[in-house]
Each structure stands twice: as structure tokens, then as C-alpha cells.
Chain A
Amino acid sequence: MDGETIDTRLLAELTEQSQDLDSDARRITKGALGEFAEEQGERRSGRRMGGMAAGLLGAGALLFGSARSASAASASANSTDVMALQTAASIENLAVSVYTTASGLSFIKSGNATVAAFIAKTITQHTAHAQAFNAALTQAGAATQSSPDPKYAAVVKAALPSIKAPGDVVSLAITLEDVAAQTYTKNVSQVSTSALRTLFGSIAPVEAQHRSVLLAVQALLAGNDADLIAIPTKPASLPAAAGSVGFPSSFYSTTSASPISEGAVS
């Protein structure tokens, strides 16, 4: 099969998948978001009850000078969830922006068609992730996040002048995907509800998959095997390292995870 036929088929498939994406995303996240809405309702109702208790507690605490800490503790769990969701949405917004910019670069548009198709598909996936995080924020009655993550937006801005070839784009994308995967992996343990654990836990592996593909692409580009960046590829021609470079560790690290406040709406 020649390259043109392969990539035409791939692009057709991806287009079809993109058309189904919204419904796919809604179907998969609907359950988690629905549960989250229920949990928020229960929490609000519990908070009303808790408010009465807190009032009593506050009255007592005032006597002992600790009313402020009691109040802060009662509000902290919800704010953690909201900040985590806002930061996640900001990371997704940045990813969409970076991939969209990359898709317009001349060496991407006229370069490897599979890389271009991957970028197009990945934009739609990150868009769906941003929509899911913002939908959860809406469910929680909190402000949605439409801005990019400030820390990594600065990193991107600093890197842009040096982006001259596909490998540079891939390298930058690997950084962003890894930050996203690490952050959401950590968020799974930080958020307060099962539904939010499902939401973060359903997206972290997808970002890890993006990174995995990009690591393989990076290795193929570095080895002058760009012709093997194709779907289908030629497995027999792939270098040995292509089989393992995409998953460098047994456990997904969270040491570079963004703090939940990083992209929070101020």
C-alpha cells in the first residue's frame, strides 16, 4: 500500500471518528458527570445540615478562638475539586492551542501526513477533555476555565522561536502531554468524589497514550525512520527500540504534576 492511500484512509477514519467524538465523550463522561452532579446536590444538602452544625460548632469555637479554622476546613474539599478541574481545563486549553498552532506550521502541513492526522485527532481529544472538565465545573456551580495554564504557556512561548522542525513540535508536545498525564494521575488521589476520580482517571491514560505515540515518533524521527510513521506501519522494519520507548516506566510518575492552584480561576 502506498503512503497516499494509507493516509487518505487514515484521514477518512479520523474524520469519521471526530464526527462521533462529541457523542462519544458525552456517553463516557455522562455517567461520571451525572454522578458528580448528584454528589454536589447531596453535598449542598449536607452543607445546609452541616451549616447548622457548624453554627453550633462555630459558636463554641468562637469561645476558644478557632472559628476561622473550622470554617476553612469545611470549605476546603470543594475548593480543591474546583481548582483541580480549573487547572486541568487550563492544561487542555493550552494543549489545544499548541497543537492548533502546530497544525498550521508549513513543515507540518507539508510533512508527514500521519503526524498531521495525529495532531488533528489529538486537538479534538483535548477539546473534548476541556469540555468535560468545564462541564464538571458547571455542575459544581463554579467558574469554568477558558485560559491556558500560565506556567506552561510561558514555557511554550519561550520554546516557540526555536521550533523549526517536526521533532521540535514533538518534543514540546511530549512535555505537555506528560504534565497533563502526571497532573491528572495525581488529581485522582486529590479530588473528593468517586465521580471526579473517574473523570480524571479516564483522561490521564489518554494523555499517557498521546505521550507514548509521541515518544515513538520522536525515536523514529531521530533514527531517520520517518517513513515508518504511518498507519499501518511496517512492523518488521521498526527498530527494536520502537517497541519499548513509548512506555519508559512501570508506574506513572507524578513528581512533575502541576499543583491544583496552577491554573485555577482567580
Chain B
Amino acid sequence: MNHSSDWELPVSESSLNRMTRDLDEAHQDAYPQMRARAAEFSEELADTASSIAGKRLARRGFLLGGVGVGAALALAACSSSSNSASSTGSSPAAAGASGSASMSSASKYVGDLKVVALATALENQAVGAYQAALSAATAGKLGTVPAAVATFVTTAMSQHQDHAKAWNAVLSGAGVPTITGVPLSNQPATLQALSGASTVGDVAKLALSLEDQAAQTYLFAAANVSSAGGISTAASIAPVEAMHAAILQFVLGEYPVPDSFLGTSSAASTTLLTV
């Protein structure tokens, strides 16, 4: 591999075909499960919202006492506002322009949907970071890019796109706008770090921090969201982000499985959301 601007993916056509077949097979195995989970999750959120909306007046005094119920009430509010929600997601530019770390009181993403929105934004952030890395590599800004790193980036990016699609399917199923950009208050800092990366190692370190953050966020989500579909979806994605992190550690020359337990100290907070 060289630094020239005509950089190409350093994989032979036959290797790419084989990898594509393998990935297709893996998708065929996992995708039906995910589609079913996303559909169940959306249905569950909708059922919860309509059920609570119907009982809200009668049970208000009781419901106001519980934390989980607060989220449920928020879901009900979300449902009632979803009909008028725009179907367009936030653009990266808008996310960057907002620069706010606080949720608007009129946010459509409340309760479990707030966590789903955060997850979608994190996936989009990862996709954007890998896309930027590929662009920088193509422009020769990262020096020599090892073949294994190139395939890592393209494969991991594709999987993050799949994750974002799964989460967006939940959002659209629940009647709220999908998220196509990165409405996170830490996005400007991420973009700045990316633009400052001059080596493959720099990009790998940044990617590792994003993968760790995503895996830990999903662990936190699995423990804290209330819907069964949300729990199972988060639980099925966290290991994949952790696997990305393991290979990145290996490429960076570090031990690939440094911790016996996944923590949550680097989990992203929903306060990062700017929508």
C-alpha cells in the first residue's frame, strides 16, 4: 500500500467475494432475528404508550410515584406527539450547529426511545468516523494503511450501518423521526480528533474509544431500558462492538481482552443528545 491518492482497498477480488459471501451468510443468520426483535420492540413501545395513554387519567396519582412510570408517561407523550413528527432526521450539520448537551423539553425521544435515539446517533458517529478514516486513507493522509486495517474499517463500518438501521427501524416503528446524522454534543470534538489524525494508529485509538463507548452504552441500556425488545437488541449488539474493540487492541499492539468484565464508566449519556 502506498500514500498515493489512487489508494485502493488492498484486498483481492476473490478475497472480497469470499468475505462478502461469509458476511451474507452471517447476515442471513442474524438478520431475521434482528428484524423480528426490532418489530417486537416497536410494537411493544407502541402498546405501552397507548395502554398508558388510555389509563393515564385514571392512574395518574399512582403512576407519578414511580421512576419507571415516569418513562412510561413520557412514552405516552411521545406517542401522542409522534403523529406530527417530521420524518426527517437530524443532519450532522444541524447536530454540530446546535452544540447543546441538554435535551429540549419538546424532544420526541423520551423514555426508552431516548436511549434508542442515543444508540442510533452513536452508530452514525462510528460510521462517520470510519468513513472519514477511509477518505483520509484514500487521500494518503494516514501513511501506509495495512490491508488488515482496511478490511477492519470497511467491515466494522458496514456492521455499524446495520446497527443504525436496526435502531432506526425501532424509531420509525414507534412513529418518531429516524436519526440519520450525529446529533451528539461530542461530535465536534470527535470530528476535530479525526481531522487531527495523521497515522493509522491515531485513527485506531479514536475508533477504539468509540467502540468502547458503544459497547458500554449498550450494557447500560440493557440494564436500564424497560422494554424486552430494547434489552435483547442492546444485548446482541454490545458483544459485536466489544469484538471490534478486541481487534483494534490487537492491531494497536495491546492485549485484546484486557478486562474480565465490561464496565459502564465510558458509557455515553443521553444528555449528549441534541435532539
**Chain A residues close to B by CB (< 8 Å):** 10, 13-14, 17, 21, 24-25, 28-29, 121-122, 124-125, 128-129, 132, 181, 185-186, 188-189, 194-195, 197-198, 200-213, 216, 231-233, 235-244, 246-255
A233 near B243: Cβ-Cβ < 8 Å: no
**How far is the CB of B2 from the nearest CB of chain A, in Å?**
12
Task: Give A28 Cβ to nearest chain B Cβ, in Å.
Answer: 4
Residue in contact with A213 in the complex, picked from B238, B250, B264, CB distance below 8 Å: B250
On whether A213 and B10 interact (CB within 8 A), knowing A208-B240, A250-B30, the answer reads: no
Chain A CB within 8 A of B245 CB: yes
Report whether B236 and A243 are in contact in the complex, using a CB–CB cutoff of 8 Å.
Answer: no
Total chain B interface residues with beta-carbon distance under 8 A = 70
Q: Which of B93-101, B105-113, B142-150 contacts A (4 or more CB under 8 A)?
A: B142-150
Query: B258 interface residue, CB < 8 Å from A?
Result: yes
B243 touches A212 (CB 8 A): yes
A206–B154 CA distance with the chains assembled, in angstroms: 23
Q: Are B261 and A28 in contact (CB under 8 A)?
A: yes
**B37 to A: closest C-beta gap in Å:** 9
Instruction: Name 15 A/B residue pairs within 8 A (Cβ), A-sorted.
Output: A121-B255, A194-B224, A201-B218, A213-B257, A238-B146, A238-B251, A242-B148, A243-B247, A244-B154, A244-B155, A250-B30, A250-B31, A251-B31, A252-B30, A255-B33
**Is the Cβ of B148 less than 8 Å from the Cβ of A212?**
no
For B162, give its contact among A13, A24, A125, A250 (CB under 8 Å): A250
Tell me, in angstroms, the Cα distance from A10 to B258 when the chains sit together.
Answer: 12
Select one of B10, B30, B228, B258 contacting A251, CB under 8 A: B30
- Chain A residues within 8 Å of B154, by CB: 244
CA–CA, A238 and B145, complex, Å: 11
Distance in angstroms between the alpha carbons of A208 and B257 in the assembled complex: 10
Q: With A25-B261, A249-B29 known to touch, is A205 a contact of B219 (CB < 8 Å)?
A: yes
Which residues of the other chain, A, contact B129 by a CB distance below 8 angstroms? none
CB distance from B57 to the nearest CB of A (A): 27
Rounded to whole angstroms, the CA-CA distance of A253 and B252 in the bound complex is 28
Smallest CB–CB gap between A61 and chain B, Å? Answer: 26
Q: Is the CB of B242 within 8 A of A208?
A: yes
Q: Is the interface of B mostly helix, strand, loop or mixed?
A: helix
Q: With A206-B259, A250-B162, A251-B240 known to touch, is A188 a contact of B235 (CB < 8 Å)?
A: yes
Assuming the contacts A201-B262, A246-B246, asked whether A254 and B236 have C-beta atoms less than 8 A apart, the reply is yes
Interface centre among A194, A198, A248, by most B CB within 10 Å?
A248
Residues of B near any A CB (own CB < 8 A): 10-12, 15, 19, 22-23, 26-27, 29-31, 33-34, 144, 146-156, 158-159, 162-163, 166, 200, 215, 218-219, 222-224, 228, 231-232, 234-247, 250-264
Q: Which of A132, A210, A244, A253 has the most CB of B within 10 A?
A: A244
Docked-complex contact A201 and B223, CB < 8 angstroms: yes
Is A236 a contact of B250 with CB atoms below 8 Å? Answer: no
Known contacts A125-B257, A203-B262; 20 additional CB pairs below 8 A are: A28-B261, A188-B222, A202-B261, A205-B243, A206-B242, A209-B257, A213-B257, A231-B250, A236-B144, A238-B148, A239-B147, A240-B147, A243-B147, A243-B247, A243-B251, A244-B19, A247-B240, A250-B26, A250-B30, A253-B30
A238 shortest CB reach to chain B, Å: 4
Tell me the complex Cα distance, A256–B113, Å.
Answer: 30
CA A200 – CA B33 in complex, angstroms? 20
> Within the assembled complex, what's the spacing in Å between the Cα atoms of A24 and B258?
11
**Could you say which of B200, B228, B243 contacts A189, with CB atoms under 8 Å apart?**
B228
The distance in angstroms between the C-alpha atoms of A109 and B107, with both chains bound, is: 59
Nearest CB of chain B from residue A52's CB, rounded to whole Å:
21
Give min CB distance, B127 to chain A, whole Å.
Answer: 12
**A251 engages B238 (CB within 8 Å):** no
For A235, list chain B residues within 8 Å (CB): 146, 148-149, 200, 251
Select one of A197, A231, A246 contacting B253, CB under 8 A: A231
Bound Cα distance A128, B261 (Å):
9
Which residues from A are CB-within-8-Å of B243?
Answer: 205, 208-209, 211-212, 246-247
Q: Per a CB cutoff under 8 Å, which of A188, A203, A205, A248 touches B23?
A: A248
